[in-house]
Amino acid sequence: MTVLFAGTPEIAVPCLEALAAAGHQVEVLTNPDAPTGRGAKTAAPPVKARALVLGLPVHQPAKLDASARSLFEGRFDLLVSFAYGKIFGPVFLGLFPLGGLNVHPSLLPRWRGPSPLTAALLAGDSETGISVQRLALKMDCGDVMVRTVRPLDGSETTGSLTQWAAVVSPALLLNAIQALESGTAGTVQDETLATYCRLTSKEDGRLDWSRPAAVLDAQIRACDPWPGAFTGWSGQRLTLRQSSLVPGRSALPEPGLVSVDKSKGILIQTGDGLLAVRELQLPARKALDFRSFLNGNPALAGSCLGEPS
């Protein structure tokens, strides 16, 4: 089968590799090279980088306009998408006789949109998953061909779930392609159960210590690795990772007040309960475990975290 694979970030790379290994004739549609990192050096998207190693043709149009469509018309059976980053219009979708499949890391129709794993953690969901759905004109609304469910135990981060989804998705995608070829109908999504998420922003990492510990713990895990959950300390931005809830209640009087437990980590009073943090990072510094951070910053103990100046 001839497949146009549309994807951009690292999470999509294993699916590209699986399509090529399965013997499909694959070409790649990805976003243009863009500045990245502190030096803002132009870099290729991870999907492009891997495609070139595999010897696959790569296309990087800035827009899916008539000029871009002319590159693909009459050449492919199927469009496969995973975190491509652009919406496909009806004319573009009409180029593919078998239509399109989209890999989406959520239990559709829950968390349609660009940041489903982060949204599931922020909402305190008890489970998440991966759905492979037919591409439709409305975002993430197509019939679901296959899916898998993963229970959540409250220790996951967006980073760990992204790694999991990257590993699990290829087999699901190949199963969905087989189902499509055999004429199997997908499951229609229940619109009454639909929820939506937006693109994560840097400000989503800002911590408000008046909120409950459980909410802040979910926020720290959801913002790991990006944008990083942060607060203010001593006039600086302090990023916090590896959080956990501390059982019981604390008599500490003020949200944001810091104490130390030698085994649990940095303890921070919240609006309801204590939160333990085991990794901290100051700007332009490397992340440190809490003991190493305290060795260099002993004034943290007994201080009060809040808005950076």
User: What is the mean predicted confidence (pLDDT) over 101-116?
Assistant: 98
Residues 84 and 210 in one domain: no
Report if residue 76 sits inside a domain. yes
Give the residue with greater pLDDT, 15 vs 252: 15
Burial of 268 (0-12, 13-18, 19+ CB in 10 A): buried
Spatial CA neighbour of 78 closest among 165, 139, 19, 143: 19
- Provide the mean pLDDT of the chain: 95
Give yes or no: residues 72 and 219 share one domain. no
Query: Are the C-beta atoms of residues 92 and 19 closer than 8 Å to each other?
Result: no
Across the range 265-291, mean pLDDT stands at: 96
Read off the pLDDT of each residue in 265-293 and give the average, rounded to a whole number: 96
Q: Greater confidence, 251 or 177?
A: 177
| Co-location of 172 and 208 in the same domain | no
Please determine, for residue 217, whether its predicted confidence score (pLDDT) is greater than 70: yes
Regarding whether 259 and 184 lie in a shared domain, the answer is no
pLDDT, tens only, 163-206 = 999 999 999 999 999 999 999 999 999 999 999 999 999 999 99
Q: How confident is the model at residue 40 (pLDDT cuts 50, 70, 90)?
A: confident
- The yes-or-no verdict on residue 6 having pLDDT over 50 is yes
Between 247 and 120, the more confident residue is 120
Shared-domain flag, residues 183 and 242: no
What CA–CA distance (Å, rounded) separates 151 from 147? Answer: 14
- Is the predicted pLDDT of residue 151 greater than 70, yes or no? yes
Q: Which of 160, 176, 193 finishes a domain?
A: 193
Specify whether 52 is located in the same domain as 168.
Answer: yes
Question: For the chain, what is the domain count?
Answer: 2
Tell me which residue range forms the domain holding 11. 2-193
Residues 244 and 154 placed together within one structural domain of the fold: no
Helices (H), the chain: 13-21, 46-54, 66-72, 90-93, 116-122, 158-181, 213-222, 290-296
**Which pLDDT score, from 0 to 100, does residue 119 have?**
98
307 lies in some domain: no
Contact (CB, 8 A) for 271 and 211: yes
Across 32-54, average pLDDT: 91
The answer to whether residue 71 sits within a structural domain is yes
Distance between CA atoms of 48 and 214, rounded to whole angstroms?
39
Residue 27, in any domain of the structure = yes
Q: Tell whether 85 and 161 lie within a shared domain.
A: yes
What pTM does this model have?
A: 0.95
Query: Going by DSSP bridges, is the β-strand pair 25-29/2-7 parallel, antiparallel, or unpaired?
Result: parallel
Pair 175, 207 in one domain:
no
**Model confidence at 133: pLDDT above 70:** yes
The whole-number pLDDT of residue 103 equals 98
- 305 occurs within a structural domain: no
- Cβ of 283: how many Cβ atoms within 10 Å? 10
Q: What is the pLDDT of residue 307?
A: 66
Single out the residue in 193, 223, 246 at which a domain terminates.
193
Mean pLDDT of 91-98: 97
Separation CA 171–CA 167 (nearest Å): 9
Q: Given 146, 174, 193, which residue is the final one in a domain?
A: 193
Name residue 64's amino acid. Answer: L
To which residue do tokens 């995973």 refer?
A: 82
Segment among 35-44, 218-227, 232-241, 255-264 with least mean pLDDT: 35-44
| Residue 306: inside a domain | no
**232, 258: one domain:** yes
Confidence category of residue 309, pLDDT binned at 50, 70, 90: very low
At 251 the pLDDT is 57
Q: Are residues 182 and 226 in the same domain?
A: no
Amino acid at 273: G
Residue 308 inside a domain? The answer is: no
The pLDDT value recorded for residue 193 is 98
Q: Which domain CATH number covers 209?
A: 3.10.25.10
User: Could you check whether the bond before residue 14 is cis, i.e. omega within 30 degrees of 0?
Assistant: no
Residues 166 and 44 in one domain: yes
Give a yes or no: residue 58 inside a domain.
Answer: yes
SS3 143: coil
Average pLDDT over residues 67-74: 95
Banded model confidence at residue 36, pLDDT cuts 50, 70, 90: confident
